[in-house]
């Protein structure tokens, strides 16, 4: 979704943040863009290959922060995720619409 073209359209002062999925951003294009200074910085919690290879060029750049895919690893977040799963399970077993449904268009059929 985000490749060389999209990165080149960013402001020089932009910061790219990716906490979605690694392949959302073309990682090699990001390396080249960061070297060119557009975007200025990046903060990513996901990489195209996980765990990231310790020789990956991205790790050598001073303008990128990489977390090891742990953005949701807090007690509060994990508890909320577990509660959402339980609420969905109870609703589903009761024949009700799922409270947290990722594809709610299924109910339109």
Residues with active-site annotation: 21, 50, 69
Cβ atoms within 10 Å, residue 86:
10
Cβ atoms within 10 Å, residue 25:
24
- Phi, psi dihedral angles at 59 (to 5 degrees): -70, -20
């Amino acid at each position: 979704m985000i490749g060389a073209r999209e990165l080149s359209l960013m402001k020089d002062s932009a910061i790219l943040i990716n906490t979605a999925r690694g392949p959302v951003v073309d990682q090699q294009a990001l390396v080249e863009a960061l070297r060119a200074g557009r975007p200025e910085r990046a903060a990513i919690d996901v990489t195209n290959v996980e765990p990231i290879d310790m020789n990956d060029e991205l790790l050598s750049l001073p303008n990128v922060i990489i977390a090891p895919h742990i953005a949701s690893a807090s007690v509060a977040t994990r508890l909320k995720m577990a509660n959402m799963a339980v609420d969905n399970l109870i609703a589903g077993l009761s024949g009700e619409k799922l409270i947290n449904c990722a594809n709610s268009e299924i109910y339109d059929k």
